[in-house]
Amino acid sequence: MLSHSLIWAAIDRLAERHDMTPSGLARRAGLDPTTFNRSKRTAADGRQRWPSTESIAKILAATGSEINDFIALMQEGDTAGLSRPRWRVPLIGLAQAGRGGFFDDGGFPAGQGWDEIDFPGTLDENVFALEVSGDSMLPLYRNGDTIVVSRDTPCRRGDRVVVRTRDGEVMAKVLQRKTARSLDLASLNPDHPNRIVTASDIDWIGRIIWASQ
């Protein structure tokens, strides 16, 4: 019987068969790299989302597969039989993150220009990585370090966070206080000033959950 889980499992297996992650498969097919993310498989209200026939046709063409191959992958069973996934997250430079075209309206990775890095942990797919540039994050993060940011993890007082403003400024700070009107942010580098950002000026905020130190 055709089911939501079997179709998504077949997509995961097709990617694995060709030594790719689901996001890598989407990229090869000319799709948005987040098309097959697990976060895209269920709507915010809990409804199941189905991949489009167009996206399936594109990944079959990109891998030289036939529809019968895809059906065979569905018949192998549900995702419980899959090997442990290789966690990879999208990566761009900190300076790039301030430009348009790299995030969707919800503040999640979208569009082209993203690289990928391996992540040594277990996570959902609503995360991305930023490569640090400059000295504004010293002494915690150095030029060239990579930080992984989660948009789904709640941000609390004392957390290290990345904030993007509506005018494209991206900053890494320590969250001191959060109200309905503003964020009070302490600088990681004492040579840089603390900031108070009004809620209306914030595009998104994410918690730093890992760094490549």
pLDDT 10s digits, 153-199: 889 999 999 999 999 999 999 999 999 999 999 999 989 999 999 99
**Distance between CA atoms of residues 46 and 32, nearest Å:** 22
Q: How many CA atoms lie within 13 A of 177 on its CB side?
A: 10
4-81 is classed in which CATH architecture? Orthogonal Bundle (1.10)
**Distance between CA atoms of residues 163 and 172, nearest Å:** 6
Which strands, in side-by-side order, build the sheet including 182-187? 115-118, 88-93, 127-131, 146-150, 202-211, 160-165, 170-178, 182-187, 195-198
Fold topology of 88-211: Umud Fragment, subunit A (2.10.109)
Break the chain into its structural domains and give their ranges.
4-81, 88-211
pLDDT 10s digits, 38-61: 777 887 777 888 999 999 999 999
pLDDT band for position 124 (cuts 50, 70, 90): low
User: Is the pTM above the cut of 0.95?
Assistant: no
pLDDT 10s digits, 79-110: 444 444 556 788 888 888 888 778 877 777 77
pLDDT band for position 77 (cuts 50, 70, 90): low
Nearest to residue 104, comparing CAs of 58, 53, 39, 28? 39
Instruction: Kindly report the backbone phi and psi dihedral angles of residue 176, in degrees, each rounded to the nearest multiple of 5, phi listed first.
Output: -95, -35
Residue percentage of the chain with pLDDT more than 70: 91
Residue 4, SS3? helix
Residue found by looking up tokens 């409804």 in the block: 47
Residue found by looking up tokens 């320590």 in the block: 174
